Structure 1
């Protein structure tokens, strides 16, 4: 099962529907670059398709709304029946790219070819041998030919077989695909607490989509809050061992830094992500059902007050 090959139809859809979806497609150094929010307008629909790409074609996503104190906030839902591969082997933003002064956070199927990070793929026991590579770049700049050549080489593919999707944080498509990481965020947190991701059979989640703002920093804060204070997830897991304890430790509510908009937490930490409690990075609410016993474990909850304050909607 190749996450790159499974995601390719969604990349092709972006290219075929480029005008309709508000994206720009061009060739850079032989690679195909799809701009979904830098010079292009992008939008909700492009964000949904990019979420499917990030999931390696092994999940689905769509638009909905989330009721919060009488408001109907736009939201994205995500589901997958291959959560370990879709979320950890593909969607996880696990590739920090820094080449010739260009920086980006890389996610999506290409990570499986480059094995970023290597230990994760060893734990998953997964390897992709596709001849095409698809990467999603969260950056405020367009990658150069040398950057794309570096990515292709790291993936072991010809640069002409590389597809790069560019989604700045301060773009609507970017905000959609960040909220579309709600299921992955929960699985990653459960894994760090000791749950074998292979035990997770299915995953479903919903998170509000943060309001667009011209500032990348404001969008960074709001998009984090969308998951930390508004994200809800549901998982079906094999076995029942330690599930109650794991779930109780998993939501963002357990973090010492919980309770303020992320931008305030970031400022208090001296703008140093490494000084922020890693336990904060989790959905607001996590529900896990044991496939064997039928027991359901629930922890956390949506924090409407902080969410609305972050989104600029508090009265």
Structure 2
């Protein structure tokens, strides 16, 4: 039988569990720490996350939509965002692993399963995931982190590093090995049972209007890191700036669609945007910075998202 580790369905979970789950999502090559941070006149819980091997974000952190219906797809089947080190056994998605000189060989796998509701995967779902990894079910460990839980909220906020890394590499074409370090600071959204059903603050709101990214990059001659920093912050993307993620994704339907075209989302400024970006060029020893944390918008989204 598959081992299912419940971090927020039938148990409460908590901040320490969230730190462990985030570390597992980074294959042990990163850390996360929950803290309290000041945002304007507010003090909010926040998560500091970093990795000394940012390529691990592509290997493990990127979601694996082909293996299971994501939560926004209407289906009677179990749906969740799936990510984690287990993807490396099958080298999925292929377009990512085509850029990596890496193959994981083993008989044990760990996956993160992030359902929107409070439901654990049943045995058939677990076996499907084990088969997708190419291992026996008894060798699969599933960390279930519902969006509507402390652990879910924290580990999603830590994904500011995923949004920044994706834009730098998949969108701007910087090779994985030239992104040398990443560190982020992001406020944590409150737990809400109404995510995706009614207006409420989401972890995505925290990333987009409160997420701060620091990335150390070995540049190539001619790369414009200042332009990249400016394009990836939300204040320079009017289709997103000041809007709740509920407004953008559910009401305007500008983020999640059947085709889920990630490049289009980045081009339009609807996806892969953060509040503040600091890019350090390790070739010339210079910082390029854009954006800021929008504490006034965070306060509105947290207290009156309608």
Q: Distance in 1 between matches of 2:195 and 2:100?
A: 33
Cα offset for 1:271?
7.7
More off after superposition, 162-171 vs 120-129: 120-129
Task: Map 1:234-249 onto structure 2 (within 5 A).
Answer: 234-241=214-221, 242=223, 243-249=225-231
In structure 2, relative to structure 1, the CA distance for the partners of 1:198 and 1:220 (3 Å cut) is farther
Matched, 1:285 2:271: no
- Any unmatched runs of 5+ in structure 2? 70-74
State the match for 1:267 in structure 2: 250
Matched, 1:194 2:173: yes
Please give the TM-score of this superposition, normalised by the length of structure 2. 0.86
Preserved CA contact (<8 Å) 1:66 1:75? yes
Q: Distance in 1 between matches of 2:11 and 2:200?
A: 19
Preserved CA contact (<8 Å) 1:175 1:219? no
State the match for 1:166 in structure 2: 144
Give the number of equivalent residue pairs: 284
Question: Which of 89, 93, 97 is 1:113 aligned to?
Answer: 89
Cα offset for 1:76?
0.5
Secondary structure at 1:62 match in 2:
strand
Q: Distance in 1 between matches of 2:76 and 2:195?
A: 22
State the match for 2:209 in structure 1: 229
Cα offset for 1:267?
3.2
Q: Distance in 2 between matches of 1:132 and 1:74?
A: 34
Matched, 1:211 2:190: yes
Secondary structure at 1:216 match in 2:
coil
Preserved CA contact (<8 Å) 2:47 2:154? yes
Please give the TM-score of this superposition, normalised by the length of structure 1. 0.84
Cα offset for 1:232?
0.2
Q: Distance in 2 between matches of 1:187 and 1:263?
A: 24
Q: CA RMSD in A?
A: 2.2
State the match for 2:72 in structure 1: none
More off after superposition, 196-205 vs 113-122: 113-122
C-alpha distance after superposition, 1:3-30 (max 9, x if no partner): xxxxxxxxxxxxxxxxxxxxxxxxxxx1
Matched, 1:48 2:48: no
